[in-house]
A and B are shown apart, each in its own frame.
Chain A
Amino acid sequence: MSNRIEVHHVTRVEGHGNIIVEMDNGKFKDCRFEIVETPRFFEAMLRGRPYGEASHITSRICGICATGHAVTSLQATENALGVKPSEQTRYLRKLTFNGEILDSHILHVYMLVAPDFFGVGSIIPLATTHREVVLRALKMKKLSGDICAVVSGRHTHPIAMTVGGFTHFAKPEELEDLRERCIEIRQDVDATVELFASLPWPKFERETEYVSLTNPSEYAFVSGEIMTSDGGRYPLKDYKKLTNEFLVRHSSGKHTRHKRDSYMVGALARLNNNYEQLHPRAKAAAEALGLKPLVTNPYLNSAAQVVEIVHCIEDSIEVIDHLLELGVKKEEPAKPSRNSGDGVGVCEVPRGMLIHHYTIGEDGLITDANCIIPTNQNLANIEVDMHTLMPKIESKPHDDIRLDLEMLVRAYDPCISCSVHVMDVEDLKD
């Protein structure tokens, strides 16, 4: 039997990563998750650009989390320049953010995760055997995209969001239509919960440190402070005390750690940290899926995404109600209160905590930028999981080991191509 188990370019994840396991006479010896993407240089692109361009440039970091990057970028700029967005702006951003969380989670659970449980390689064979499941996924995905389009101008890479506000304003009849469709889609959401509650999730427990935003007044996606399940809160500006990025030889994406060897971000971390703020219907879904904090099975990150699908539909209905009550008005963006500054924005994008940090000079040009993407922060945790899991499954046939490890990586919904940002190779030690 070969002493090496390899998965070259894990499929059904964003970007390119390899799983390498070293065996010695059937016993597990070592493993690693190699990230083989090239750096993207977005931070370098931002330097010297006017601050107003930052959200449009960084939105291109990702075709899935474009809204997440845009909102986080706007927050960083607004915190740097002392901009206070209006209530209307904050609610419109929440709504379009929900649209993107829904879109990404629906894609992930239905198109990337579900095929594993049905024993097929992609959603295309599933379309023949489980037509209604795929049609449901496409219908839900369409609504998510339409939420983003109505609020921020188009499905992906929003064009209507600007520093301090919006340049395009959703019409009441458009919001009413979205509201009606959110109500109508509840039956599809319920069917989604039922489907994923019936799946045989792999059994594997490993407690880790769970990190997310937290906010006593809402399930935190776009506002709050940084919280770790090990106890402790950090204001946004102190994010580096938590992330502590470092380089490893086998990954072009940096790893992070706090007090343990690794920590986890994403839907499961949010659910563990902020369960109480979930909408009651989402809590009921969590119960149906068997999720009650503290959930320590990383495979259930995908199940936690299903819970967030329920939450985001319900929250969207409430946000739309509030916007209709406010009456969406054409308004000028809130103005900066200073010309230069340093600011951090942090949001919970589909895959976890996203950080943008900008320094803006007196001339309005960005002089420094740092973006830390959720997948980076999960890389070390995925490896610790793999090290803990392997001794338990080492006697399985190699194909089964491969599938278990691939499913583990997929559960984190990694966006590998986005995780590779500015690198400082001088840090590398032998």
Chain B
Amino acid sequence: MAGQSDSGKHQKERMTLILGFGNPLHGDDGVGAYAVQMLNARSLPTNVKVRDAGTPGFGLVSEIEGWDRVILIDAIRMGRSPGSWRRFNPDEVRLLAADGFLSLHQPGLANSLALAQALNLLPKEIIFFGIEPIGTDLFDDINPIASNSVEEVVNHILNEL
């Protein structure tokens, strides 16, 4: 959990957590992990932490609790052109959390965020960077178009910080 600094005093020092999701063994599913690698190679402000979240399930709820701002990077099917990326916040989308989902092997990002929301533990600011995957087969390499988008997303995040 992060330090919950009093936001009035540290308006510009919002504690920010950047989480990359996905499995790099599954091609473009791993865009979040690649973004984390790139971010870790750059110099970041002290109020920013970067973590490879992998596929955390409900562990995400404890992970994001207490941060002022959380930035999530993941492969997301948005019906856009393959490899393209988009920035959005939760108000702009509907999180498809299933009631009675099948298995704890499967509580995805949406279910975990829905749980955090129901518990009133969501950080004040959540920003998604979704990259439309091209191929997610086992042992696929990341597609060059998706890889390019990862770099654009990383640059965009660095400017926004």
Contacts and interface: CB of A to CB of B under 8 A. Distances in A.
A229 B140 CA distance: 50
Interface in B78-136: 97-105, 111, 114-115, 118-120
B99 A125 contact: yes
B118 A63 contact: no
Contact of B99 (A122, A138, A141): A122
Contacts of B59: 141-142, 145, 155
B100 A138 contact: no
B100 A121 contact: yes
A142 B62 contact: yes
B100 A111 contact: no
Contacts of A128: 118
A417 B99 CA distance: 21
Contacts of A9: 102
B105 A138 contact: no
Given A111-B58, A124-B114, A141-B58, A131 B102 contact: no
Contact of A134 (B97, B98, B115): B115
A193 to B, nearest CB: 22
B56 to A, nearest CB: 9
Contacts of B120: 131
B76 interface: no
A56 to B, nearest CB: 14
B121 to A, nearest CB: 8
B100 A11 contact: yes
Contacts of A127: 115, 118-119
A135 B101 contact: no
Contacts of B104: 14, 64, 107, 111-112
A123 B105 contact: no
A417 B103 CA distance: 10
Contacts of A111: 58, 104
Interface string A116-158: 0000111111011001001100100110010000000001000
A29 B100 CA distance: 29
Given A124-B114, A128-B118, A141-B58, A15 B103 contact: yes
Interface residues of A, number: 29
A124 B105 contact: no
Contacts of A120: 99
A149 to B, nearest CB: 11
A131 B119 CA distance: 6
A145 B57 CA distance: 12
Interface residues of B, number: 19
B154 interface: no
Contacts of A15: 103, 105
A16 B99 CA distance: 17
Most buried by A among B59, B98, B103, B119: B103
A73 B116 CA distance: 36
A141 B98 CA distance: 22
Contacts of A131: 118-120
A155 B101 CA distance: 23
B71 interface: no
Interface in A7-62: 9, 11-16
B88 to A, nearest CB: 22
B119 A11 contact: no
B50 interface: no
Contacts of A141: 58-59
Contacts of A134: 115, 118-119
30 contacts: A9-B102, A11-B100, A11-B102, A12-B101, A12-B102, A12-B103, A14-B103, A14-B105, A15-B105, A64-B105, A107-B104, A111-B104, A120-B99, A121-B100, A122-B100, A124-B99, A124-B118, A127-B115, A127-B118, A131-B119, A131-B120, A134-B118, A138-B58, A138-B61, A138-B62, A138-B119, A141-B58, A142-B59, A142-B62, A145-B59
